[in-house]
Amino acid sequence: MAVEVLLPKIGLTMQEGTIDEWLVPTGAAVAEGDALLRLATDKVDVDVEAEAGGLFHPVVPAGATLPAGALIGWLLAEGEQPPGPGGTPMPAGPGSAGTDAQPDAGGVRTAAPSPDGTVGVTGTVGLDGSCGRLLASPNARRVAAEAGVDLTVVRGTGPGGRIVSEDVEEYLLIPEPRLPASLPGDSVTPASPLVRRLAKERGIDLADVLGTGAGGRIRRSDLDNPTPTAAPAPTTATPTAAVSTAPASTAPASTVPTRRSTASPQPGDTVPLTGMRGAIARRMHASLQEMAQLTHGYEVRLDAVVALRTQLKQEWADSDLAVPSLNDFVLKAAALALREHPLLNAAVLEDGVHLYEGIHVGFAVAVANGLLVPVIENAAALSLPDMARRSRELAESARSGRISPALLEGATFTVTSLGGYGVDFFTPVINPGNVAILGVGRLRDGVEWVDEQPRRTQVLTLSLTFDHRAVDGAPAAEYLRTVGELLRRPLRLLL
């Protein structure tokens, strides 16, 4: 019996995901637990495993962006065909979703809403709509014709999925097609559109990259350490000599393009608000629209913290205890202070301010093209060494892109640091679902007057942004003072 493969919902906030790449070819036999695809969400990239066994047949191409719950493939028995639109088996032959799962000449596969609201493939629809009706307004058809856009790859937002002109115009703003027409096993396309876009941004010629995916497909990880498909010409030889001395069967040496060290945007580029960038944009805009945010700045002495950390580095050098960083001290102090000031550990809902029972502190980690906020659960109850170990584990997982989405949810309070960038004071934006966020500035020299003589100290500035709907200025200042006292006498943080 055919088993549906649906796009999983990774985390509570996921609305859509992009199929980065299929990890198995069309028609391959898979067992329960085998990795089927690499899924890119607005927070993390994860490998999605098969929930049953069978012959895998995808119904959407790599690079497709679909809502959670959308039909993306089937697991079939030997000789079984994927069901048709009504749930009945499709006959084998031209136009069916057979073993090669390729679109017919003159037609493309289209995604259409199923009865349960998900998006699935309804078969092969001719460009003239002879095998199925393509819902689009006359104006949308006119705009698409003028721009040379295939309406079968445009997602409709009108009633019943109808494509309106705004959908076409939005599609034209996307640098790469959201639904490319290449399925697994297509020898013409050895890389997904996402990989192609990253390669273009980094100035990498995919012809020079050896793919490690199924069938030689180029994966995103292959771009991090590109392996040449052929040995490069000797660096001491001139181009002319390289050509003249090469055997007749060897292609002439080509000029290696200049490669960008990062995928940072370049002048003239358009950065689409999709994926992680889109999620950050939506959440931060909603935060500033919905909350009455105000920021306090508070200078804290860290002489005792610096001295204690130096001592711990010496005493714990031969142990397995993790030496806390300055940020770990702040995380611990922030969590303990929430016990005394529970109004900062809360959320504003329709019926009032709800105080959280647990103290789960999230901390911002900068990653490529955005940031993630891993969550340290029950942070106030952790010892300082355990806090240090946990924060490092989570930060490393976030930077590697392998962190579980479950570890990015449930924060009741957030700490973010820009001290490493030389920033003293800033105005962090509260994460939706919280009423406060604590910013940490750089460690810098301060001055203390003792008997009318100046003495150098070490200080940093804490920036507390709070929601004035839930917290007034005085309670917010009291919270900062408590954090500052804990950092001034850090031995209490070791208890």
Residue of 100, 205, 269, 472 with catalytic role: 472
First to last CA, the chain: 59
DSSP string, 245-299: HS-TTSPPP-PPPP--SS----TT----S-HHHHHHHHHHHHHHHHS-EEEEEEE
Q: Is 341 a catalytic residue?
A: no
Closest CA to 25 of 222, 235, 200, 189: 189
Distance separating alpha carbons of residues 431 and 444, to the nearest angstrom: 28
Q: Is 150 exposed, middle or buried (0-12, 13-18, 19+ CB in 10 A)?
A: middle
Looking at the chain, how many residues does it have? 495
Residue of 100, 269, 285, 468 with catalytic role: 468
Q: Which two tokens stand for residue 381?
A: 């109850």
Q: Is 96 exposed, middle or buried (0-12, 13-18, 19+ CB in 10 A)?
A: middle
Distance separating alpha carbons of residues 344 and 470, to the nearest angstrom: 8
Distance separating alpha carbons of residues 275 and 427, to the nearest angstrom: 25
Distance separating alpha carbons of residues 162 and 113, to the nearest angstrom: 11
Closest CA to 471 of 362, 383, 347, 388: 347
Distances (CA, A) of 142 to 27, 136, 165: 39, 10, 8
Q: What is the DSSP code (8-state) at residue 205?
A: -
Q: Is 468 a catalytic residue?
A: yes
Q: Is 221 helix (H, G, I), strand (E, B) or coil?
A: helix
Alpha helices per DSSP H over 353-431: 384-400
Tell me the one-letter amino acid at 319.
Answer: S
Q: Which two tokens stand for residue 248?
A: 């007749």
Name the residue with tokens 């992680």. Answer: 276
Active site residues: 468, 472
